[in-house]
Chain A
């Protein structure tokens, strides 16, 4: 019995093999009329489930519609008035590879690749205009159809055409077509919408047909099938917002100042200095005893603008200079005659030029030439000489002279001048003001021909230190400064008011561009040295200078500056 079965199977295999070698697939749906003509056989009407063999030509009439399903899952949907032949089909399920070669002579088709189109060089479709190669794609074919001859990449990776007329074309972007024009010339164009419509219409079954199926599916079956659940019910159209790559919030964050870190850091050093140049000016101050000496403090000042010289270097963020001052009153006892170098003018010094209003410098004191007791110059041992215009911008803002006076600078300084032991330990606490001091020739030109009585008024501030004679009775004080100047007579009058609660009105001045004055206001002696400064091309834009005031008990020294 077993032997009989084996022999039967063997005979079947041997006799059937040549026939099966031509097996390609089955007709999975058929609307009539469609005919198949196998090699050497007569044409037959094909029906649902028929085998399609290699080299069998499938023809449809004007109503015909056929889907051919190959063993690897590839389908050809053949539209009306079409002719297709499967020339070759090889499928190796074990290797998961497949190859198909087909020929179309006319009509409309849709190719949907199974394993064939996942295989390199797996699909070749011969057409009257050349050979079409397909890789992983859904492709519409129209060969001599109502829209002419074209091959449309609906979806997938690649379609190529080796054209009989010469040349090759390649599609890799869905929505594009290889179009065959006059004389077989080929080109790649965007698929016109009407081509898609025409092919879709051709491949759509007409109402009343059933593709050969005895019981067609119903809406209910579709709804209950697993397809809806994993397809239409599981997905929603993507939000059609276009290709904006990153989330809006990320883009927003990238644009905010704290992430444009150069913007942010710029905020921090937004006060960076711009003030550059060498300036002269005036200084005045008070000797401050560190040891509680209760003797009347000395007041010191300079008389000539050249005694104070400061160079500002904004680009180098440094500044420095020398301040030379001497005792004004009282001239008894130890006398100050000191030249203090600091910042960039002192090789051992440092400077901090943070902004136009914020600067400070130190010196190590080795360049200090000081006499505090009148016995002669002493080269000081190391001590700090500091000039500071406030602490960063705190005090600097408090004592702003005027917003537009970019030709003026002022500040305070202190130096620990080493004494000779009698008395030990004194600080010089000084104020300073510098500017672009007007040259005599420029001033002469400016006032030339001006009659007496040509006056201008300068308003500004006075800033200095005051002492009531006790120690530590030293205070910093500010007041208002008004100066009226007669350019014709080169005389002037200055008022300093609200300075440590006192008013000094009508202090006479003489000279120009440097001017000075001394005398008595009530019981108070005054001694003023000053000069005009040039700003914005005006040789009399402002005035700067120093003052000392004293009545034997209360004493003060400081600087003033004002603008017209």
Chain B
């Protein structure tokens, strides 16, 4: 049979006008070409083409088939590996390790139902090696959890934070008001404090059954109690609700467009501080296997409430529009770069609280193996730097009757996420923020350390 195929191959070459390579390769060609596992993409692809021809020449050659499947996985052609292993499963029906590999391949493709059928078949057989059985169990658990197209997900974190300047006050106790130096009282000077906090981020997704369109509800909540400065005790809740459309409806791959309403409430020092209502839209686009981008535009009407300790908070009431563009670039499996451009306009009741803000964030995420071998999940280190420039609309007559406030705001942070399985992780962060302002009251420095335990579900 091989002889017949070889002849046909030669004829094919002639008939196709001397096309670059014969359709079906000689096994001898294959032997003459070294294995190219972990070689360059071009080398692997060239080797794969030879292997494909060899498979056509002898589909029962297991060595060729395994090598073809392995190289296909390496190069990211999981379908090529699937079709090869499915053929081998016809040769050896129910072979557990083969079905394990097929199950993993389908899982990686996102075809969880097919993956599950392979995994179930593995477990249904007697005498399956323990390592195979254990691996299958992990995947089945993941599939079960991910099977719901609609569902509730979230994370709760609780911990403590120490800040050198918890009240975001100026570090100097002398401030200049309209050319005269004043001495700030103790309450007005930066002071350190620690807080205990609980924060949660929750998302409920209802699949609309129209190929990726979803109704998304989110809730973010944060509560912190301070050790000494009770006026900083904070409660924040923000909820959004709205549809998210898969833009493949319009022929745009890997993109979604969402619209949502926003409701926000803030308690500060035990008093109602701010209520906000608004709307937003976001566009998320997968620009390639390594690049993800997003644009968000949000509007809020914010109503600040006066209270005994913050008697003029209402002067901040008004409208707020912000725009954010993000881009993520996966430099490799373990390194992701990200950048964010931010713009915000606040129009407050008092013009000296109204401002334009422009900023940018640049950062990098490093994923690395957990130092504890019993945990599979990678740890992540996130480094980021953010810069904002704020220009206020009008002078604050208290501080400077002539010149409006201008801030340069820099925030540096490092966060380490340490998963310990079952959705549990330790989260730590260091951050330093300094604001350079022509208004002494806004000239602040703050260094903070945060540590918490998180449960994701």
Residues in chain A within 8 A of chain B (CB atoms)? 9, 12-13, 16-17, 20-21, 23, 25-29, 31, 48-49, 51, 65, 67, 69, 71, 73, 75, 77, 91-94, 110, 112-114, 138, 154-157, 171-176, 188-191, 193, 196-197, 200, 203-219, 221-223, 225-232, 235-244, 247-253, 255-274, 314, 316-318, 350, 352-354, 356, 358, 360, 362, 391-394, 396-397
Contacts and interface: CB of A to CB of B under 8 A. Distances in A.
Interface string B81-110: 111011111111111111011001111111
B385 interface: no
A20 B90 contact: no
A267 B113 contact: no
B29 interface: no
B65 to A, nearest CB: 8
Contact of B155 (A210, A241, A267): A241
Interface string B105-143: 111111101100100010000000100000100110111
A397 B184 CA distance: 12
Contacts of B12: 20, 23
14 contacts: A17-B11, A49-B60, A113-B79, A172-B248, A190-B209, A205-B93, A226-B37, A235-B104, A242-B152, A249-B428, A258-B166, A270-B309, A392-B183, A393-B185
A23 B442 CA distance: 78
B438 interface: no
Nearest to A240: B145
B20 A94 contact: yes
A243 B166 CA distance: 32
A482 B24 CA distance: 113
A12 B312 contact: no
B26 to A, nearest CB: 15
Given A20-B12, A93-B20, A244-B201, A227 B66 contact: yes
Contacts of A154: 106, 109, 111, 114
B108 A235 contact: yes
Given A173-B248, A205-B90, A248-B456, A362 B135 contact: no
Contact of B273 (A91, A190, A210, A263): A263
B398 A209 contact: no
A250 B60 contact: no
A268 B407 CA distance: 15
Given A9-B14, A251-B220, A219 B83 contact: no
A213 B63 CA distance: 13
Contact of A188 (B60, B90, B197, B211): B211
Given A252-B157, A252-B452, A73 B14 contact: no
Q: Which of A215, A243, A397 gathers the greatest number of chain B CB atoms within 10 Å?
A: A243
Contacts of B428: 249
A272 B311 contact: yes
A71 B153 contact: no
Q: 4 nearest interchain CB pairs?
A: A242-B153, A226-B70, A264-B168, A237-B142
Contacts of A189: 209
Given A69-B83, A190-B149, 4 more contacts: A73-B77, A112-B86, A213-B91, A264-B168
A23 B16 CA distance: 12
B307 to A, nearest CB: 9
Q: Is the interface of B mostly helix, strand, loop or mixed?
A: mixed
B19 interface: yes
B417 A155 contact: no
B442 A215 contact: no
Contact of A155 (B79, B129, B273, B411): B79
Contacts of B67: 225-226
B240 interface: no
A208 B442 CA distance: 80
Interface residues of B, number: 162
Contacts of A200: 114, 117
Nearest to A17: B15
B409 to A, nearest CB: 8
Contacts of A67: 83, 86-87, 90
Interface in B210-231: 210-212, 220, 222, 224, 231
A69 B94 CA distance: 21
B158 to A, nearest CB: 10
A191 B90 contact: no
Contacts of B106: 154-155
A539 B278 CA distance: 47
Contacts of B442: 265, 268
B138 A236 contact: yes
Nearest to A18: B15
Contacts of A260: 236, 266
Contacts of A26: 56, 59
B448 interface: yes
A268 B175 CA distance: 12
B153 A241 contact: yes
Contacts of A207: 93-94
B270 interface: no
Contact of A223 (B49, B97, B110, B382): B97
Contacts of B331: none
A267 B11 contact: no
A28 B59 contact: yes
A31 B90 contact: yes
Contacts of A69: 55-56, 59, 83, 87
Contacts of A174: 109-111
Contacts of A360: 180, 182
Contact of A216 (B11, B91, B138, B224): B91
Given A154-B114, A318-B397, A230 B312 contact: no
A81 to B, nearest CB: 17
Interface string B418-432: 010001000111010
A389 to B, nearest CB: 12
Nearest to B112: A175
B39 interface: no
B30 interface: no
B168 A267 contact: yes
A20 B11 contact: yes
Interface in B270-307: 273-274, 306
Nearest to A195: B113
Contact of B59 (A17, A29, A171, A222): A29
Given A67-B87, A200-B117, A226-B67, A256 B222 contact: yes
A123 to B, nearest CB: 13
A173 B100 CA distance: 25
Contact of A49 (B58, B146, B376): B58
Contacts of B111: 138, 154-155, 174-175
B363 to A, nearest CB: 9
